[in-house]
Amino acid sequence: MWKSMFYKEWIKIRLVFWLSVIVGVGVTLAMYMIIRSELADTPVNHYLWKIMNRDFVFFTLFKFLPLGIGLLIGLAQFIPEMTEKRIKLTLHLPINEEKAGLQMVAFGVMSLTIIFSLMFLVFIGIGRYYFPYEIIRVAAITVAPWFMSGFAAFFIAGMVAIEPIWKYRIAYLVIGGLFIKMFFILWKAGSYIYANGFFLILVVLFSISILFSIYRFRKGEM
């Protein structure tokens, strides 16, 4: 049954999925192209010190990309469910409603994991070619919350889309927005090292938030 569910979700997002892969990996590659051209003008050691001592973050191009991808996948998955209240069809399927909702979320999480892993691998792989291990380690710590913001955006998009009542939709949007903001408070390289674990827990807590909206939909508050 989850196979069928994933099939449906895949039909919905496949365009957006490939687009995200292309844009995500493309931007990562483009970022290193820019760095390469910058390195042609500045000596590498100067570039390194800019990174190390002036809090220069060489991967800013990256910053909101996972957020955008998460949002896009979320919208691609949940807007078709909400137009004409198609979620009724999904909830009518002969499986538990909550399971149905979570299966859709699980599929989105899987897709995002694939896209983000690809981006991350390219990011780390090429980065290691140019820079010492320490620089890349800090870079990975710094981009981790950005990737997490992508997952958070996905969950929030789902929750807001499925939510039947406008009042709650706005409330969720506000809470969600404030939550997303947390991932971007400070972006000194490496400053999230002690917070990433906690953020991960929060994101996991958020992952089931769609159930609240499904629950209210089923109670018939519209």
Partner 1 sequence: MAAAIIILSNVIPTIYRTLFKVPGQYPSIYYSLLKDEFFTSTYDYELSIQTIKNSKGEVIPEDEFHKACPIENSFFLIKKGEFPDSISGMKIDVEKFRPESDYASIRSSFMSMPSYRLFPLMDSKTALRFPHDVCRIGKKRVEFILAETNKVDEEKSEIFTRIFNNENFNYPAKLMAGIPTVMKPYDNGWFITDSKDLFYHMKMENGKPYLKKIETPEGFKVKYVSPSTIESRSIHAYVISEENKLYILSSLDYGLIELPVYDYNPEKHYSLMFRKTPYFTKVDFSSFNQRKIYVLDRNYKLLNKFEKENKPYSELSVGKAFATLFPFNLRFGENHHSYIKFVFNGYNNFSWIVASVIFVLLNVFFIIRKKRRFKNNILDLVLIAATGIFGFIAVNLFPNKEY
Partner 2 sequence: MENIVECRNLTHYYGNKMVYEDLNFNIKKGSILGLLGKNGTGKTTTINILNGYLTPRSGECIILGENSKNLSPYVKSQIGYLIENHVQYAFMNIYQIEKFYSGFYPNWKREAYYDLMAKLKVTPKQKISTMSCGQRSQVALGLILAQDPELLVLDDFTMGLDPGYRRLFIDYLRNYAKAEGKTVFTTSHIIQDMERLIDECIVFDYNKVLVYMPVKEFMSTFKQFNFEVTNPDVEFEKGGLVENYEKIDSTIELYTYSRANEVESYLASLGIAYSNFREVPMTLEDAFIGLTGKY
Closest CB to partner 2 among 95 and 200?
A: 95
- Among partner 2, partner 1, none, residue 96 binds (CB under 5-8 Å by kind): partner 2
Is the CB of 80 or the CB of 190 nearer to partner 2? Answer: 80
Shortest spacing between CB 99 and partner 2, in angstroms: 9
Burial of 43-73, coded b for 16+ CB within 10 Å and e otherwise, reads eeeebbeebeeeeebbbeebbbbbbbbbbbb
Closer residue to partner 1 in complex, CB, 39/95: 39
Q: How far apart are CA 150 and CA 147, in angstroms?
A: 5
Distance CA 148, CA 4 (A): 28
Q: Which residues contact partner 1 by CB under 8 A?
A: 43-49, 51-53, 129-132, 134-135, 138, 141, 168, 171-172, 175, 178-179, 182, 185-186, 188-195, 198, 202, 205-206, 209, 212, 215-216
Q: How many residues bind partner 2 (CB under 8 A)?
A: 24
In angstroms, the CA 62 to CA 87 distance is 34
Q: Which does 58 bind (CB under 5 to 8 A by kind): partner 2, partner 1, none?
A: none
Could you say whether residue 217 binds partner 2 (CB under 8 A)?
Answer: yes
- Tell me if 93 contacts partner 2 by CB under 8 A: yes
Phi (first) and psi of residue 198, to 5 degrees: -65, -40
Q: Kindly tell me which of 123 and 217 has the beta carbon lying closer to partner 2.
A: 217
Residues 61-90 vs partner 2: string with x where CB under 8 A?
-------------------x---xxx-xx-
190 binding partner (options partner 2, partner 1, none; Cβ < 5 to 8 Å by kind): partner 1
Does position 91 interact with partner 2 (CB under 8 A)? The reply is yes
Does 204 bind partner 2 (CB under 8 A)? Our answer is no
Residue among 24 and 150 whose Cβ is closer to partner 1: 150
Residue ranges binding partner 2 (CB under 8 A): 1, 3-5, 7-8, 11-12, 80, 84-86, 88-89, 91-96, 217-220
